[in-house]
Amino acid sequence: MGLEGKLETLNFSALPSLRVLDLSDNHLHGSIPAAMSSLSKLTSLLLWWLESLWFVTREISPLQMTPVKSLQGNISSQFGVFIAYEYMETGSLGAILRSGERAMELDWVKRVNIIRDIAQALSYLHHDCAPPIVHRDITSNNILLDEEYKACVSDFGISRLLEPNSSHWSMLASTRGYMAPELAYVMRVTENCDVYSFGVVALEVMHGIHPGDLINSLSLSMLVKDVLDPRIPLHMVDPFIKEVLGVILIALQCIDTNPQSRPTMEQVSQRLTYPKSFPISNVHCFH
């Protein structure tokens, strides 16, 4: 059950080193309490929904790989559950893409590198963790960037360990627009669900906004210029055309409606690391 009552009644005296405060699934109101002024390292106050946090934090706290945003600490008490992440200076990928001025800072090199970072993180969760971890809510808002635009996957609020010999978890809790289509009728969570969400995010990074209806019309016969973010001058993509085309082709494979036809995140990460080995001759570029 979530908290109810006035926010100013919460006790923050035991959290002097807290950086990010996440009050989840609570019903609080009132002004920010004066006691929060003692949290000198607090940089962000979050109030969105998060379920089963204590279970999730025990799952992912050992993850120390750079592209996976590890937890700095968590507290469970009668006041609720609190979670602290390392501070990421640049903020979320989604917020930057939605900002016209800030989106211009994301040139094609940065965008390709961000997608590589995300792929590397998911490959680690799926293939290097035992048992594998499925994130289940990969969105642009859950990708955080540091001051050098290094991307990290965060918000494991609905992540789940997949035991090799157990049935797949079936609670539906992914974000609309990023959710794999098979979840609508099968409701079985596998690594393929993350692969689909990754494909949507990759297209969003290239397109500048959520691809939306574009997903249904994408094909190898499309002009690449119709997929790229129009806020960045078209000629600026020329030196990086192979890398950009490689990302688009991989994203198309990841959003295949047949889960079994999607590549694994390990394969995606490898292809993004060595883009010159990926065939692009059958893609129409600009005319």
The residues annotated with a catalytic role in the active site are 137
Summarised one tens digit per residue, pLDDT across range 179-214 is 999 987 877 788 999 999 999 999 999 999 999 888
| pLDDT at residue 37 is higher than 70 | no
The residue-averaged pLDDT of 224-230 equals 87
Mean pLDDT of 46-63: 40
Residue 121 pLDDT > 50:
yes
DSSP, collapsed to helix, strand or coil, labels residue 122 as: helix
Among 65, 87, 181, which Cα is nearest to 133's?
65
Is the overall model pTM greater than 0.85, yes or no? no
Helix 265-273 × helix 191-207 angle, to 10°:
40
Please tell me the number of Cα atoms within 13 Å of 108 on its side-chain side: 21
Share of the chain above pLDDT 90, in %: 35
Instruction: Please give the pLDDT value at position 51.
Output: 35
What does the buried/exposed string (b/e) look like for 26-39 if buried means 16 or more CB atoms within 10 Å of the residue's CB? bebeeeeeeebeeb
Q: Does residue 260 or residue 188 have the better pLDDT?
A: 260
pLDDT over threshold 90, residue 19: no
Q: Which long-range contacts (CB under 8 A, 24 or more apart) does 97-101 make?
A: 97/140, 97/204, 97/205, 97/208, 97/209, 98/209, 100/231
Q: Residue 57: enclosing H or E segment and its boundaries?
A: helix 53-60
Domain spans of the chain, in order of start = 4-85, 91-277
- Predicted confidence at residue 98, as pLDDT, reads 94
What integer pLDDT is reported at residue 33 of this predicted model? 59
Domain with residues 91-277, CATH architecture: Orthogonal Bundle (1.10)
What residues contact residue 122 under an 8 Å CB cut-off, 6+ apart?
135, 138, 153, 194, 195, 198, 265, 268, 269
Write the pLDDT tens digit of every residue in 58-98. 444 444 444 555 444 554 444 455 555 666 778 899 999 99
Assess contact for 225 and 283: CB atoms under 8 A: no
Location of structure tokens 């192979």: 242
pLDDT tens for residues 228-240? 999 998 888 889 8
Mean pLDDT, range 231-257, rounded to an integer: 91
